[in-house]
């Protein structure tokens, strides 16, 4: 069944995984349209339950058994996504710029600019990053904004500055997968959705908690392993999605 669900506010596009893979489209008058196919009533119930938990205001809900996906959605190629894996990771020092952005604010230009700013600062200190740059999602509120850091991992603790701050990714068990291919369309949303869906299927409890500002994660990352800076072929770009799992009692 094809559904159209309209809610108040503009939701972050990267959180498509929270709503069964429904396509997210920002509308006029500060609303968001979620549309697409859901396999059964249980899936619809899960989407609505997620909305209730997040305090979203439902404005419209309609279903059409014969509706088809748009041409753009049908023609869009799905990224190649590796099988999720679980591994124990040691703590990782890093430096990053912290910022709060609205759903529309997190775009390619902002990401590239902040990654470059941190990298230039490291070069001035004579320091080489130990791995690929990443976005760390600290707090997520789908209806307003999310709090995040954009930075680079380093070998040892650094002092940082007021703008470029030092941090530590906590040690622990992480579940991760890799999206292979260009960033266009919903590639990274699908990768995040695949990891979340895998977690549901396997009873995974993530290291996160609900707060007044949204869902706070112990460590949720998108690491840009290979991208336009070091690989001219977009089909070979690699982005790792990783989320820290809750400690076992």
What CATH code is carried by the domain that includes residue 115?
Answer: 3.20.80.10
Q: Is residue 104 part of a domain?
A: yes
Rounded to whole angstroms, the Cα distance separating 86 from 78 reads 23
Residue 130, pLDDT score:
97
**Are 133 and 216 found together in one domain?**
yes
Tokens of 39: 């396999």
Tokens of 207: 């290291």
Q: Is residue 187 part of a domain?
A: yes
Integer distance in angstroms from the first to the last C-alpha of the chain? 41
Rounded to whole angstroms, the Cα distance separating 55 from 172 reads 31
Residue that finishes a domain, picked among 25, 41, 72: 72
**Are 93 and 54 found together in one domain?**
no
**Are 91 and 208 found together in one domain?**
yes
The domain spanning residue 19 has which CATH number? 3.30.70
Among residues 174, 181, 186, the alpha carbon closest in space to that of 81 is found at 181
**Are 98 and 68 found together in one domain?**
no
Rounded to whole angstroms, the Cα distance separating 95 from 144 reads 26
**Are 147 and 129 found together in one domain?**
yes
**Are 236 and 132 found together in one domain?**
yes
Is 60 exceeded by the pLDDT of residue 69? no
In DSSP terms, 60 is beta-bridged to 6
Q: Is residue 191 part of a domain?
A: yes
**Are 59 and 161 found together in one domain?**
no
Is 60 exceeded by the pLDDT of residue 208? yes
High-pLDDT (> 90) share of the chain, %: 48
In this structure, are strands 238-244 and 220-226 parallel, antiparallel, or unpaired? Answer: antiparallel
Residue 6, pLDDT score:
86
Number of domains in the chain: 2
Q: Mean pLDDT of all residues in the chain? A: 85
Residue 218, pLDDT score:
97
Is 70 exceeded by the pLDDT of residue 76? no
Q: Is residue 99 part of a domain?
A: yes
The domain in which residue 214 lies consists of 81-244
**Are 114 and 213 found together in one domain?**
yes
Q: Which of 75-79, 181-185, 191-195 has the highest mean pLDDT?
A: 191-195
Is 80 exceeded by the pLDDT of residue 135? yes
Element (H or E) spanning 120, and its range?
helix 108-124
Tokens of 63: 């279903």
Q: Is residue 17 part of a domain?
A: yes
Residue that finishes a domain, picked among 39, 72, 105: 72
Q: Is residue 180 part of a domain?
A: yes
Q: Is residue 249 part of a domain?
A: no
**Are 68 and 85 found together in one domain?**
no
Residue 24, pLDDT score:
80
**Are 62 and 185 found together in one domain?**
no
pTM for the model = 0.71
**Are 6 and 100 found together in one domain?**
no
Q: Are 95 and 135 in contact (CB under 8 A)?
A: no
**Are 12 and 90 found together in one domain?**
no
Rounded to whole angstroms, the Cα distance separating 182 from 77 reads 10
């Amino acid at each position: 069944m094809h559904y159209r669900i309209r809610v108040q506010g503009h939701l972050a596009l990267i959180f498509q995984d929270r709503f069964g893979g429904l396509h997210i489209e920002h509308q006029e008058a500060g609303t968001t349209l979620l549309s697409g196919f859901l396999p059964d009533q249980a899936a619809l119930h899960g989407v609505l339950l997620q909305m209730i938990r997040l305090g979203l205001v439902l404005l419209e809900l309609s279903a059409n058994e014969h509706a088809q996906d748009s041409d753009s959605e049908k023609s869009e190629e799905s990224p190649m996504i590796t099988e999720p894996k679980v591994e124990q990771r040691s703590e990782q020092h890093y430096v990053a710029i912290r910022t709060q952005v609205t759903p529309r604010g997190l775009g390619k230009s902002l990401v590239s600019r902040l990654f470059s700013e941190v990298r230039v600062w490291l070069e001035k200190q004579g320091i080489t990053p130990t791995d690929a740059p990443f976005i760390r999602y600290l707090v997520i509120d789908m209806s307003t904004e999310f709090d995040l850091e954009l930075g680079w991992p380093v070998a040892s603790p650094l002092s940082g500055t007021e703008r470029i701050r030092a941090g530590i990714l906590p040690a622990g068990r992480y579940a991760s997968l890799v999206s292979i291919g260009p960033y266009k369309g919903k590639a990274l949303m699908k990768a995040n959705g695949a990891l979340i869906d895998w977690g549901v299927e396997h009873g995974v409890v993530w290291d996160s908690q609900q707060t007044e500002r949204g869902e706070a994660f112990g460590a949720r990352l998108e690491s840009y392993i290979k991208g336009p800076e070091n690989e001219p072929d977009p089909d070979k770009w690699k982005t790792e999605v990783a989320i820290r799992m809750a400690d076992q009692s």
